[in-house]
Structure 1
Amino acid sequence: MHGTDLAPVVDNDNQVLIVDDMRLNRQILGQMIQQMGLDVVYAENGLEAVAQYKESKPSLVLMDINMPEMDGIQAAREVKSLAKDSFIPIIFVTGAEGQEVIRQAIDAGGDDFMQRPFPFELLEGKVVALRRISQLYGQVKKLNHIRAREEEVAEQLLSGAVESANAALDQIRIHKQPAETFSGDVQLSAFRPNGELNVLLGDFTGHGLTSTIGALPLSETFRAMTAKGYDAEEIIAQINRKLQKLLPTGMFLATGIVTLSTDGSAKIWNGGLPDIMVFSQGELIHRVVSKHPPLGIVPNVKDLVFEHTTVSSVDNILLLSDGVLEAEDMQGEQFGEERLLKSAEKQKLDGGSSLVDLILSDLSAFVGEQTQKDDISIIDVPGRVTAENFDKAIASSAHVVDEPTAFDSWNWSLELQGKSLSRINPVAQALSRLQEDEGGGDHWHSVFSILTELYVNSLDHGVLKLESSLKSSPEGFAEYFSERERRLESLSTGAVSLYMQHTRLTKGGRLKVRVEDSGDGFDFKHWLNKEPSSAPGGFSGRGIALVSELCESIEYENEGAVVEVVYSYSVKD
């Protein structure tokens, strides 16, 4: 765009307002201004000056100080207020003397000061200089407007690319309030193939355009790995590797991630965010403090500590950025956690209001007219979230009777030994191979559930020798996973192998899965006859009983240390 395309900001660029209560002074100044080729309008006092400015919108004002009705100091203040973000130069032209007069004139918004008498050339020089500044100001203002509009469009495109694919927006509540056009906060949600929901809140260093450079790779990694069934631990590790290579020195991502099962069992990780809190009808019942540095600082993150808990249908998991707690009022005092908890407590009396609405209402009243200094983000995850059509997809894809096509079959296997059991997820790798070779489809939800249950059962009970009875209570549920992490950490022996054979059928496919562990087996007959549990911490429909319902066959060998299932699915033409 050329500079000539940028119109001045004022309506009458050649018009000058002269304000003086003495007729002779007005005439002399008017003649000088007209000699410069400019137009003139007059006012005899401050009140008339304000009215004339409203009517004429001049580009420059010559203002006397001592006048009846309203003096020049007050009139200058009102003109500057009316001009808002437009630059209307005011030159005080007066016979008054003294430093105090000059100080008052400048404080009122005056841009220059001239004491009578003065030569025409001096006035001309000041008028030309201030008009040039005013026109440059107008050009900058228009350029800023164009830039702001372009930033708005870019932000809409970026937000669409990053957040438009978020899942369960009809069930979870996300509030995003950027301090500038671009937000450094990222809110993501996606379902795993087994119906579990992953929710991530990320807060990049700073705010504005520069803080968004990691948003796209962050969202792409999160969604791709979640869709393939990777655990949150692996997602965090991969995001960290990408950001550590991408982000400049001094920039990082404070992150919190929640994995919520349909039965209310949840695992939560916090790396640099304010405490992630669990509320029950407004009462704080659990918090997850940050035990890890933000992502993108070190090349590899190790020893990730997740907290396992269970939530009921009336509970809420709250993630928030530090912009909420650090929001300031006009006196510079921060909103803080104490006020946030008091806001949440109001839900006890007003059960119909959401936590987000209650917090935002009190936050808005607290900050008043104070300028927002940091991005504000809140995510409210209810205790129960279900994937649309997930149960239907599982139920409709089992027990397919079909004939094989011309011989079209492939095998895939993986064996994990010792420490590799604690760091490699074979289920995600197996599902990724199936999706890459056989395409997408809802039937993979069932396959993921089958693979997850068979592998986890072999690892937990065969190798780690954990007792499922621990998960019968919320406290035992947390203890079970704490003990699981301890045993995985110290694991030096043991093995689990996973074998798959896929055969294409005329309208679908048949998958044979065999899982074998190095343990002594377990009482599989008890679990085959047990109904799937819907209680928090139970099998949540992913137990052996459900695997039996989904598959054409399930057979155990070696006292339960070996299991083989056959699953068939159909696809639409």
Structure 2
Amino acid sequence: MNILIIEDDLLFNQFYSMFFQSKGVNVVSTYSIAEARGILQSSAQFDAIVLDNQLTDGEGLQLVPPLIGQYPDAAILMVSANDSADFFLQAYASGLDDYAVKPVNVDLLWVKICRAVEVRQLQRVSRQQQAELANWVAQEQQEQELAGHVLATLTQRLQQMPAYIQVKTKPSSSFSGDILLQQQGQDGSQYLLLADAMGHGLAAAISLMPVLEVFQSMSQKSLPLSNIVFELNKKLNRQLPADRFVAAIFIRLDPRTSELEVWNGGMPPLLIIECVQKKISKAESKNMALGILNEQEIDVSVEKFKWTTGSYAVGFTDGLTDTEFVGHGQFSADFLAETWLEQPEEAFRGLEQCIDGLSHAVDDISVFSIHFDKYADLISAGMKLNDKKDGRLCLEFKITGSALSQVDAPLKIVQTVSAYGMHQSLNNTLFSVLTELYLNALEHGVLKLNSEMKQAEDGFIKYYSLREQRLSSLVSDDSISLVVDWCMSDNSIHLTVADSGSGFDYQAMNVQRSTDDFYYGRGINMIYSLCAEVNFKGCGNEVTAVIIG
């Protein structure tokens, strides 16, 4: 320990010095304010300062401010014969740590010095910790702002909802473990995903990152919900820690059939509310959350519902039903459904007001409502054809070998014709038909896969495993040719798709179609329903189709 003594009485000065030195302390002695000011100019450091008030060249109190400025962590103790309470109140106000009245008991003075030095050291450690904490908080804030910017950039387009979908969210912290995404498929269908990652904050938000790319790319291609669920579960199961998972509701709206497809894994029920018929249906969770089960265990089957005039679909995370709302208690799924039945136009607004009234959410809250009448109006308006145009666009593609596993030909083609002004409704139909014909040519023609495999208990897994295996073994003789001929004047499209496979008995397929036993499953039925003509040629490895806009 280092102590500075400021005492003009030679006897007291030497007495203090000898006593402190006997305690193993380094002592510097001064006898006046002037000498003390000289010490202030040096680089010396002290743990404690013993200061007399009545010095030959002034009062010691006037030294207190500069001493504190020079040695902010040093304990300052004053010794004085003045025992007035007012004097010591003034001394404490100037910044003293303690005092002693002359004649001084040096043992008591030593105890006071040790205690004051210990307090000063604790204060110094506390200031350092506070500074480190402030620095950590600032860095954490910067990192959170960066993470928030990245997440917002990645999800911005997918979270921009069309007018027929209302959304309300309230995170429990800076980052939400809930996410609601939408994407229109190339065939005109609408995909919606509400996901709730385990936990809260940034850790939960990061768990949702693998969801974004898979959902966007696969729904944009209008792939079946079962495929999207399967791929997302596989990715999350591989990338997330064992104690993390993502509950989710997937929805697909088909504007052509007024059909709603739903897969619910670990989420509260999706409510389908038919206000005119006063009917409530629920798509309950029948599956585990994503990321828990492996590829062989996950069930990817979907439920189907029809929507009618005056219908709504309402989905939410468990943060809504687990929250206590002042004056309302907890909202159950049945209460929400009854609220929509009674006041469908006002129900969502009332729910928004309740959520806004929460001072703090104990869990992330997300809720959405789909108004099917508005959706139908939008679809109807979008199907109005543009003015007739003159012209013709003919595209020819031939894809061979390993390129078959890399090129998404139907998507490239519809993107091209769209750029030439093809109306969205016709573009959607083209994409649906072309995709089905192309996949039939690839999977059943080139890869020689049999759809009946999917009917077995683990057939879905085996089918796609064999598909990947055969895609990796493609040779240059394997090929698919596509011709798309669009006549703009009458909005007709003539398609030809041919593959290098051995074909099949398409005449037998026509017999099976007449008895509702379709050779290629539901896909071929869709093609016949969307096309004015469908004809198989040769050995069955070539098909032509006509679409009338």
TM-score interval for Structure 1 and Structure 2 normalised by the shorter chain: 0.5 to 0.7
Residue 34 of structure 1 aligns with which residue? 94
Q: How far apart in 1 are the matches of 2:159 and 2:505?
A: 37
Residue 433 of structure 1 aligns with which residue? 409
**Which of these residues, 115, 118, 138, is aligned with residue 122 of structure 1?**
115
Identity %: 19
**Which of these residues, 500, 514, 521, is aligned with residue 510 of structure 2?**
521
Residue 446 of structure 1 aligns with which residue? 429
* Structure 2 residues not aligned, in runs of 5+: 1-68, 73-82, 99-110, 442-450, 461-478, 515-522
Q: How far apart in 2 are the matches of 1:193 and 1:390?
A: 17
Does 2:281 align with 1:292? no
**Structure 1 stretch displaced more, 138-147 or 234-243:** 138-147
Q: How far apart in 2 are the matches of 1:235 and 1:309?
A: 19
**1:361 CA drift (Å):** 3.2
Residue 268 of structure 1 aligns with which residue? 262
* Structure 1 residues not aligned, in runs of 5+: 1-12, 15-22, 39-117, 415-427, 459-483, 493-497, 526-538
Q: How far apart in 2 are the matches of 1:516 and 1:330?
A: 67
**1:317 CA drift (Å):** 1.2
**Structure 1 stretch displaced more, 516-525 or 124-133:** 516-525
**1:261 CA drift (Å):** 1.6
Residue 483 of structure 2 aligns with which residue? 502
Does 2:309 align with 1:317? no
Gap change, CA 1:166 and 1:249, over 3 Å in 2: same
Q: How far apart in 2 are the matches of 1:290 and 1:485?
A: 28
Report the 3-state secondary structure (helix = DSSP H, G, I; strand = E; otherwise coil) of the residue aligned with 1:521: helix
Q: How far apart in 1 are the matches of 2:313 and 2:211?
A: 22
**1:156 CA drift (Å):** 3.5
**Which of these residues, 395, 406, 410, is aligned with residue 397 of structure 2?**
410
**1:125 CA drift (Å):** 4.4
Residue 323 of structure 2 aligns with which residue? 327
Question: Residues 376-422 of structure 1: CA distance to partner in whole angstroms, max 9, x if unpaired?
Answer: 11121222426978975895699975376xxx8434699xxxxxxxx
Report the 3-state secondary structure (helix = DSSP H, G, I; strand = E; otherwise coil) of the residue aligned with 2:320: helix
Residue 381 of structure 1 aligns with which residue? 370
**1:265 CA drift (Å):** 1.0
**1:223 CA drift (Å):** 0.9
Does 2:221 align with 1:221? no
Contact 1:520/1:561 (8 A) holds in 2: no
Q: How far apart in 2 are the matches of 1:165 and 1:397?
A: 31
Larger Rg: 2
Q: How far apart in 2 are the matches of 1:25 and 1:128?
A: 28
Does 2:158 align with 1:182? no
Contact 1:502/1:511 (8 A) holds in 2: yes
Question: Residues 214-233 of structure 1: CA distance to partner in whole angstroms, max 9, x if unpaired?
Answer: 33321111111111121111
Q: How far apart in 2 are the matches of 1:430 and 1:280?
A: 44
Contact 1:317/1:381 (8 A) holds in 2: yes
Task: Calculate the aligned-residue CA RMSD, in Å.
Answer: 5.2
Q: How far apart in 2 are the matches of 1:485 and 1:149?
A: 55
Q: How far apart in 2 are the matches of 1:500 and 1:217?
A: 34
Contact 1:313/1:383 (8 A) holds in 2: yes
Does 2:272 align with 1:278? yes
**1:285 CA drift (Å):** 0.6
**Which of these residues, 540, 544, 547, is aligned with residue 564 of structure 1?**
544
Residue 470 of structure 2 aligns with which residue? none
Q: Specify which structure has the bigger relative contact order, considering alpha-carbon pairs within 8 angstroms and separated by 6 or more residues.
A: 1
Q: How far apart in 1 are the matches of 2:389 and 2:91?
A: 99
Residue 512 of structure 1 aligns with which residue? 496
Q: Which amino acid aligns with 2:545?
A: V
Contact 2:410/2:438 (8 A) holds in 1: no
Contact 1:513/1:566 (8 A) holds in 2: no
**1:547 CA drift (Å):** 2.4
**1:199 CA drift (Å):** 0.5
Q: How far apart in 2 are the matches of 1:258 and 1:189?
A: 9
Gap change, CA 1:290 and 1:344, over 3 Å in 2: closer
Q: Which amino acid aligns with 1:224?
A: S
Contact 2:233/2:290 (8 A) holds in 1: yes
Report the 3-state secondary structure (helix = DSSP H, G, I; strand = E; otherwise coil) of the residue aligned with 2:323: coil
Report the 3-state secondary structure (helix = DSSP H, G, I; strand = E; otherwise coil) of the residue aligned with 2:162: coil
Report the 3-state secondary structure (helix = DSSP H, G, I; strand = E; otherwise coil) of the residue aligned with 1:234: helix
Q: How far apart in 1 are the matches of 2:547 and 2:240?
A: 44
Question: Residues 292-338 of structure 1: CA distance to partner in whole angstroms, max 9, x if unpaired?
Answer: 1111122315442311111124211122111111124699x97251x
Q: How far apart in 2 are the matches of 1:457 and 1:436?
A: 18
Q: How far apart in 1 are the matches of 2:397 and 2:155?
A: 36
Residue 350 of structure 2 aligns with which residue? 358
Q: Which amino acid aligns with 1:547?
A: C
Q: Which amino acid aligns with 2:364?
A: D
TM-score when scaled to structure 1?
0.56
Contact 1:335/1:363 (8 A) holds in 2: no
Q: How far apart in 1 are the matches of 2:384 and 2:156?
A: 27
Please give the residue correspondences for 1:31-180 in structure 2 after superposition, counting only pairs within 5 Å. 31-32=91-92, 34-36=94-96, 119=112, 122-123=115-116, 125-126=118-119, 129-130=122-123, 133=126, 136-137=129-130, 140-141=133-134, 143-145=136-138, 147-148=140-141, 150-166=143-159, 168-180=161-173
Q: Which amino acid aligns with 1:564?
A: T
Report the 3-state secondary structure (helix = DSSP H, G, I; strand = E; otherwise coil) of the residue aligned with 2:172: coil
Gap change, CA 1:249 and 1:554, over 3 Å in 2: closer
Question: Residues 164-209 of structure 1: CA distance to partner in whole angstroms, max 9, x if unpaired?
Answer: 2346432212222211111111211111122111101111110111
Report the 3-state secondary structure (helix = DSSP H, G, I; strand = E; otherwise coil) of the residue aligned with 1:372: coil
Residue 21 of structure 2 aligns with which residue? none
**1:546 CA drift (Å):** 4.8
Contact 2:270/2:283 (8 A) holds in 1: yes
Report the 3-state secondary structure (helix = DSSP H, G, I; strand = E; otherwise coil) of the residue aligned with 1:270: strand
Report the 3-state secondary structure (helix = DSSP H, G, I; strand = E; otherwise coil) of the residue aligned with 1:129: helix
Q: How far apart in 1 are the matches of 2:95 and 2:362?
A: 49
TM-score when scaled to structure 2?
0.58
Contact 1:221/1:239 (8 A) holds in 2: yes
Gap change, CA 1:286 and 1:24, over 3 Å in 2: farther
Q: How far apart in 2 are the matches of 1:398 and 1:485?
A: 44
**1:136 CA drift (Å):** 3.9
Please give the residue correspondences for 1:196-211 in structure 2 after superposition, counting only pairs within 5 Å. 196-211=189-204
